[in-house]
Each structure stands twice: as C-alpha cells, then as structure tokens.
Structure 1
C-alpha cells in the first residue's frame, strides 16, 4: 500500500471535505437517472471516446488538500478527497495539473517557501504511487506516461507571489518542475495590466517553456499578455461570462482574443462558475467553442480546490457523464478529442517549441523589478 503520513495541519477554510458519494451512472440498468439521462448508448460511446482521448484536466487542488490529511493512499482510494487513482481511471483522466494553492494573503518569502514545500509534496506523492502516477513535464513525457498506463502529473499553476519578484526564483521553480504560473495578484500583474517587469516575466516564461495562466487576471493583463507572449496562454479556470457573471469568467471579447492568440480556456466544473447541473457546464463549453473556437476550449475539474460541483460531476470519475451530454448535443468525435486531450497537448508542444527557439536567441534575463518598474 502506498501510504503517506503527515502531521495534520490546521484546516483551510473553504477546502473540500469528504467527496460526495458517487451516484449511479444514469445509463446503468436500474438506475433512475435524471431527466437529462443521455442513455446507455451515449454513455458507452463516451467511455470509448475517452479511452482513446483521455481527459487532460487543467486544475486540481489536490496538493493543498493532501497536506492537511494525517495519511492517505491515492492508489487504494481516498474518501477524504475527490481525486484518487481509481476515480481518475474510472473518469479516464490521462493527465492533470496539480495547482500549488496558497492561502489568501501569503506573500514574500513565506509564499516562496510554501510553493517549494508543495512542489516537494507533489514529487513525494507521485513517487509513493508509482503504479498510478508519474511526473509528465513536457508533451512527449505526458504521452509516454499515458502509454505506460499511468496518469501524468504536471505541477502548477502556482501563484505569482511564488516568484518573490525574482526571475532567478522563476528559473529555480521551473528547474524543480513547475510548469505553469498564474499572472495575477502581483504588483507587476494587477488590475492595471502587466508592468514592464511583468512583461519580462512573461518573456522569461516563454524562454523556459512555462505556461502562463491568466485566470482571474484583469482584462488589460490578458490583452497585454496576448500581445507579448510568443507561446499560447491558458485560462485554467474560466467559463463564459455571457452565461454566468462570475468575475473569473471571460466576456466574449476576451474569449475571442484568447482564441485568436491560439490560447486555451479551460472551463471549470464548479457550480459557482458554470452552474448546478451537467447541462450548465455543457452550455459553457458550447459557448466557449463557438466564440473562441474548437481548438481553444478544454476542461478543468477544479476538484479538491474548495469549490462545490454540479450534482452529476461530484468527483474525477464523472467525466463520461459530461461527454455523454455533449454527444447528445451533437458534438463530433473530433471536437471532443480536442476538448479532452488534444488542445492541452498542442499548447504544451507549442510552448516547448517556443522555448527551444527562444533559448537560441536569448540568454536568461537578469533584469530586476527595481530596474524596470522602479
């Protein structure tokens, strides 16, 4: 048994408690499914599609949730969280980003050290669960992990506070495995947009191959990032504001700008941002696909991040129900393959290609926030 033990720390407000019991598949014999029951045929087809094109999940809050458990075993199954290996296999999850969540207001050296501790935890957890998990920090290794029958874990996104306003720390975090950083909540990435130092951070991220996440960033920051970045951008937890006026959701003009820049909007499966039912999530996915394009929409489970989920999407095993709903609405196999796996792989490949090209032309930046924004 791959069991880990930690001292139980103080609880974190808003973190998920024990996962809700998983209701029976709506298409299963004898299961009284909801009115939107897609039927056994569509659910079977959804499982078949996901077996070929698994879910690349854009955001999981698991590291911080695990930090506060006295012990856990993700391979056997862990009822205290919504994400474990059996449920990810049932939901056909092939890769997922493990967010390095920080408590509200944590800044400076404390934010840097907390991020380092979580990076260490991610590696420790993956090493302790070798039959189910492997680190996959680039498109090639992610695909290799999938072919080995494991689930690829990509560390990130981390919060901008993790940098401590230092490009050297950015490079160190990348060297330790960090693969995405959220550009918001810092002096250089605020409501006013990216400062000159913020633009330098983004250029250095391009050189490293680190993905930039713009979820929760201001409109000015997102627009400027689209203009500066040579690699595709992510919005790791953003749905359509036209359907639900949540501040982290994107209005249509920003969705169109993200699509034009070949970026990726990963729609969260949360009741707060998308709505209380699987149909609401499908509405958002359809809207983002229509506005940004089929190559710019993906999925973000947002499990174990302190969010309530639609009733039919309570944990990581439930992705087939969402895909069955999309099939019922006429989504093609090609568009579903893009949604679940191919779009994330494209962004990883393009970020890797951009980094290799940038490293031929650009040395590591030594510029400081004082020199650029002072």
Structure 2
C-alpha cells in the first residue's frame, strides 16, 4: 500500500500535463567588456542585516510594567481632593497629579492613599480629621468603581488588578489619631486602615518606644496593620524593627549618604531594615532624592545595595506639596524611571520586585503575622 500511496501523491496538479511546457528564459547576451569597464564595487550590507537593533529601554520598561505594575507607596490625593469643588478621576483631571488615565499610562496597579492630616491639626481634632479622610477615600473610590477598587490585603490587591482595577489602600495615618487608645486603633482598622505612621506621639518619640508604644506595635501585628516609620526617630525605628513580627515600611525615605534630608535613612539603618525584611519606598521628591531621574535612580541603587533587592520600592509622593524631579511630574512618568534602571542593567526580576513584588510581600507578611497572633491567642484561651 505504501507504493500505491506514492503513486497517488504525484507533484503534478490536475491539468498540469494538459498545458504546453513553458520555455525557459533565454540567458542575456554576454557583452565584451570595454577598455574602461570596471567590476562593480561590492555594497556593504545594511547594519540591521548583521545584528538585531538595540533594545529600546522605554519600550522594555512599559512591557515590564504591563506584567508587574507599580505599587505606589504614598499618594496625597485624598487631601488634594478636599479643596476641589468638582473632579472626575475617570476622565482625567488636570487639577491633580494622579487620575485613572495617567495611572494606567504610568503602569500603576496599586496606590497607598495617605490619610495624614496637616501638622496644624492637633489634639482631639486629629482623629476627627482622619475619619473624614477615610470617609472621603471610600466615597471617591465608590464613585470611580470602573477604575479603582478598595483593598487591604495582598490577595485583594491582586484581585483588583485581575479585574482591571487600580487597588486603593487606605493609609498611612498619623499615630496621633489614636491618642492612647488601642480601641481607636481597632476601630480604624475596621474602617480599612492598612498603615500607621509611628511618630509624633508621647509613646513613639525621640527616645524610642514606651511600653505602651510596644503594645501598639504588637496590636498592629495582631490586626495586620503595617507600622510605617518615615519621620520617626532612629530610636523608635530600631525598636520597632526589634519588636515587630511583621515587616515594617518606610514610605518616604531615601539614602542619607546621598542627600542629607531629615526622613532619609543612614546606611546602618538601611542594612538593619534589610535584615528585618522591611521595605524602604524611595520617594520621587526633589528635596530628598534629587532633581533628576538619574539622582532618584542613584537612591534606588543605593537602597538595593544595602537593604537588598527585596527591600526597595517606589513612592510617588504625588498630590502632595513636594517638588518632583524633572521628568517625573505625574504618575504617567513611571516608565521613564524604569527605563533609567533598565539602562543600568537591572534584571527583570529585580525590577519586578521593585515595582510590585516587594509591596505584595510586605502585605502578605502582615497578614501572616496577624493570623499567627490570632492562633496564639486561641491556643492560650484554650489552654
């Protein structure tokens, strides 16, 4: 049967044998070269024929952000929106630095919306103003549900991204809002608070944590609320690193070795942060990290070198009063910072940690610490 199959599978198509054979083209006549005729010079091949074109760092950055978007560690949008009579973040609003179109253009997948209130608000007014901020965040996100979604855990952040939404996390808030009440902390957590800045209180000051301050840290761990330490004293920061069972955040801190700004961290504290597997979110703020994309990248490089690639992230500081570096005026400009790091030979794995993975790791760490604390409580109650 194999021979028959070969006979049936001829190369000639139906009707091919009925057509007259085509005559092969005649070769061109050979002319004798004249006395002045010369052989044509060989032409050099095009460069693209020899080697592939050089990669475009900006295109590479955009492709990476499509898979690993930025988890922006600090946005001042809630307070900025309070002063606007009208806004529409879905269509775009020129009165702010971050609206949905520019967040998408910049490859932002999550933002921590600060509910800090200005320092001029003090005493009992801090708690009321903080509650108003939380209420505003929920109102804004609810009114822009096609682009934004509230989240408080790593899984909820991932779910928001899979649904095509930008995850919005509430916090940090000023610790002064607590007064001296753990019940107030629990109430703020029930409203969705994700992060608390431990500074400016009698129990978290220049001399470090008091015993009540340590109890606050343990309660933060039990609830799954992240301790945020930008602006805290070094004594407080080091004690929190020791006491906390969950990773901690510095949401607005660069490297003091490169720029001596108050919230920037010395090298030994960056090393201790790396040992504790915390997270330093480098701010895009000219006062702290310089006036150019290159200077910001220097801080990101420095933090990565001392704390490790799993302990560095980005904090846009958009819609705050700070001046931004040239080329990083709003949230759509994140790809340009990533392109600078691509040119510095950052691996895709380290870039993915910087933009998305490290923030997710810290949120998961807070959740794991909360579950472990609750399990210990149940075991103690049962025993």
After superposition, residues 352-363 of structure 1 pair within 5 angstroms as: 352-362=367-377
- Tell me which residue corresponds to 2:63: 48
1:95-151 residue CA offsets vs partner (Å, 9 max, x unmatched): 010001211142332100000000000000000001100001111010000000000
TM-score (structure 2 length as normaliser): 0.84
What secondary structure is seen at the aligned counterpart in 1 of 2:89? Answer: coil
- Tell me which residue corresponds to 2:121: 106
Distance in 2, Cα, partners of 1:46 & 1:136: 26
Task: Say which one has the larger Rg.
Answer: 2
Unaligned runs of 5+ in 1: 1-38, 364-374
- Tell me which residue corresponds to 1:336: 351
- Tell me which residue corresponds to 1:287: 302
Q: 2:231 aligns with which of 196, 199, 216?
A: 216
Unaligned runs of 5+ in 2: 1-53, 379-383
Whether the aligned pair in 2 keeps the contact of 1:257 and 1:292 (CA below 8 Å) is yes
Distance in 2, Cα, partners of 1:107 & 1:308: 26
Distance in 2, Cα, partners of 1:77 & 1:105: 31
What secondary structure is seen at the aligned counterpart in 2 of 1:362? Answer: helix
2:122 matches 1:141: no
After superposition, residues 117-156 of structure 1 pair within 5 angstroms as: 117-156=132-171
1:216-245 residue CA offsets vs partner (Å, 9 max, x unmatched): 111110110011000000000000000000
1:144-178 residue CA offsets vs partner (Å, 9 max, x unmatched): 00000000000000011111221000000000000
Q: CA deviation at 1:271?
A: 0.4
Q: CA deviation at 1:339?
A: 0.2
What secondary structure is seen at the aligned counterpart in 1 of 2:173? Answer: strand
Higher RCO (CA-CA < 8 Å; seq separation 6+): 1
1:60-87 residue CA offsets vs partner (Å, 9 max, x unmatched): 0000000111110000101011010000
1:163-203 residue CA offsets vs partner (Å, 9 max, x unmatched): 12210000000000000000001111101111111100000
2:106 matches 1:91: yes
Distance in 2, Cα, partners of 1:165 & 1:344: 29
- Tell me which residue corresponds to 2:252: 237
Distance in 1, Cα, partners of 2:250 & 2:139: 27
After superposition, residues 1-374 of structure 1 pair within 5 angstroms as: 41-362=56-377
- Tell me which residue corresponds to 1:11: none
Q: CA deviation at 1:313?
A: 0.4
Q: Structure 1 residues 49, 164: closer, same or farther in 2, change over 3 A?
A: same
Distance in 1, Cα, partners of 2:362 & 2:150: 18
* Runs (4+) off by over 3 Å: none
Distance in 2, Cα, partners of 1:149 & 1:313: 24
What secondary structure is seen at the aligned counterpart in 2 of 1:72? Answer: coil
How many matched pairs?
325
Distance in 1, Cα, partners of 2:215 & 2:120: 24
- Tell me which residue corresponds to 2:12: none
Q: CA deviation at 1:360?
A: 1.8
Q: CA deviation at 1:320?
A: 0.2
Distance in 1, Cα, partners of 2:337 & 2:120: 35
Q: CA deviation at 1:341?
A: 0.1
TM-score (structure 1 length as normaliser): 0.86
Q: CA deviation at 1:345?
A: 0.1
Whether the aligned pair in 2 keeps the contact of 1:207 and 1:362 (CA below 8 Å) is no
What secondary structure is seen at the aligned counterpart in 2 of 1:227? Answer: helix
What secondary structure is seen at the aligned counterpart in 2 of 1:307? Answer: coil
